[in-house]
Chain A
Amino acid sequence: MAKKLSVVKKSISLRKDVFETAEEMADKYFGGNFSAYLTYLVCADKFGLTRVQQSEEVVQAKEEIKASVTNFKKSEEANSYIDSILNI
């Protein structure tokens, strides 16, 4: 049988209007289970399973940010920029 992952309990603070929207979504799509809705949002953010409609430009920009941070590639251009800053 698969090992059950442990669950962490935390208190969170939300702005009232944000909470009301989240509660409405949790009621509508997750049978009122607020934790399940938050889990969905976090997973959507992490794995990209979002239902939020985003323009291609936004998706592209986000991919570029992810790539530049996690897959920074060494280059002559980056090297000369770093050197110019280090020599201020």
Chain B
Amino acid sequence: MSDIIMGIDVGYSHTKTVTSKRKDIFRSTVREGVIDLNPHAIVIEYEGQKLTIGERGTITINEDKINDPVFEPLLMTAILRNADENLTNYSINLVTGLPIAWYPKQKDRLKDFLQNKHITIGYKGKDRNIHIKDCLVFPQSAGLALTSPKDFEEGRTNLVIDIGGLTVDVSYYEGRRLVKYDSWQLGMLKFYDKLRTAINGEFNVEVDDQDVERFIEEGKITYKQKQYDFNFDKYFKQHMNDIVTKVKTAFPWDIVHKITFVGGGSLRFQDYIPVKGGIECDLIQSNAEAFYNVGVQKFG
């Protein structure tokens, strides 16, 4: 049985995986039981209980990954979705991550929690034995220096702003040296929460984050079978302004060579990002790609 290298970014909004063969993404939700109506739903059997992953379900915003009850099911689902389903025993060399500000305090505990873990999960009608043989924990938003080394040569400065599900992670580099970093809870879930409150107040309804996402995509609010205009633009501008103000007060802004916005939230906010000319990369998968590359370097 050969070891498989996987880079897995268990985000608060989506779980992203990069392996040598593919990239994968699914929504970071866990729901007890099986949704019979959807034959394509991801179902796993975890600790004797059937869980539906990636559909409408629980999103947690627990800052401590180890004690977050959805973290392990999401991580194992990511492994199973991206391993050969004809096999039942898997040996994984895993690289996963944490928001950069929580990284120094939590990295060792998370590594100890995952390293040499043996677990059996039911998936697609069979028990699958997963062994996480080795594990590294790498901070989110620190991976661009690996995927774009030329931009991080000596004498160059970079500000990387990762708009994730829960947090906005910011890191400032001089050459390849990480000089300063911070995380704030200004991610997409916080943004959706603001919109949710505004929509619920204006239309007297109870919508959730996934309804909000759909309304944004449609550019309208659907209410009692009719569609209504809503000033999404105002909320997007306000939230981006909150992020930029925080970053500007804590980091160099006007004097850096490149400011790069990454993360799934940056895709949603792309029309509102106030600077152009950042490093080109896969906005959604940038962390998982970096984790995978760390795995290739260390385990390959």
| Contact B280 A62, beta carbon cutoff 8 Å | yes
Nearest neighbor of A78 in chain B, beta-carbon distance: B297
How many angstroms between the C-alpha atoms of A86 and B147 in the bound complex?
17
Expressed in whole angstroms, the minimum distance between the Cβ of B17 and any Cβ of chain A is 14
| Contact B297 A79, beta carbon cutoff 8 Å | yes
Interface size class, chain A: 20 to 34
| Contact B136 A81, beta carbon cutoff 8 Å | no
| Contact A13 B217, beta carbon cutoff 8 Å | yes
| Contact A85 B300, beta carbon cutoff 8 Å | no
- The segment from B25-33, B44-52, B288-296 found at the interface with A is B288-296
Expressed in whole angstroms, the minimum distance between the Cβ of A49 and any Cβ of chain B is 20
Asked, given contacts A15-B219, A78-B297, A85-B138, whether A69 binds B176 with beta carbons under 8 Å apart, the answer is no
Contact with A69, one of B139, B145, B217, B282 (Cβ below 8 angstroms): B282
B76 at interface, CB cutoff 8 A: no
Asked, given contacts A72-B293, A78-B297, whether A88 binds B178 with beta carbons under 8 Å apart, the answer is yes
Nearest neighbor of A75 in chain B, beta-carbon distance: B297
| Contact B146 A82, beta carbon cutoff 8 Å | yes
Expressed in whole angstroms, the minimum distance between the Cβ of A59 and any Cβ of chain B is 12
How many angstroms between the C-alpha atoms of A68 and B145 in the bound complex?
11
| Contact B297 A69, beta carbon cutoff 8 Å | no
Residues of chain A within 8 A of B148, CB atoms compared:
64-65, 68
Residues of chain A within 8 A of B292, CB atoms compared:
72
| Interface secondary structure of B, over-half rule | helix
Kindly name the residue among A15, A68, A75, A84 whose own CB sees the greatest number of chain B CB atoms within 10 A.
A68
| Contact B296 A65, beta carbon cutoff 8 Å | no
Nearest neighbor of B298 in chain A, beta-carbon distance: A82
Residues of chain A within 8 A of B142, CB atoms compared:
85
How many angstroms between the C-alpha atoms of A61 and B277 in the bound complex?
12
| Contact B104 A88, beta carbon cutoff 8 Å | yes
Residues of chain B within 8 A of A65, CB atoms compared:
147-148, 280-282
| Contact A69 B138, beta carbon cutoff 8 Å | no
How many angstroms between the C-alpha atoms of A20 and B280 in the bound complex?
28
Asked, given contacts A88-B103, A88-B178, whether A74 binds B145 with beta carbons under 8 Å apart, the answer is no
| List of 8 A-B pairs having minimum Cβ-Cβ separation, nearest first | A72-B293, A68-B147, A13-B217, A81-B176, A74-B297, A85-B142, A69-B289, A78-B297
- 22 cross-chain CB contacts under 8 A: A15-B219, A64-B150, A65-B147, A65-B281, A68-B146, A68-B148, A69-B289, A72-B147, A72-B292, A72-B296, A74-B300, A75-B297, A78-B149, A78-B293, A79-B298, A82-B146, A84-B178, A85-B138, A85-B139, A86-B136, A86-B138, A88-B139
Q: Give 18 A-B pairs besides A64-B148, A69-B147 with Cβ atoms closer than 8 angstroms.
A: A13-B217, A61-B280, A65-B147, A68-B147, A68-B148, A69-B293, A78-B146, A78-B149, A78-B293, A78-B297, A81-B145, A84-B177, A85-B139, A85-B142, A86-B138, A88-B103, A88-B139, A88-B178
**A: which residues have CB within 8 A of B?**
13, 15, 61-62, 64-65, 68-69, 72, 74-75, 77-79, 81-82, 84-86, 88
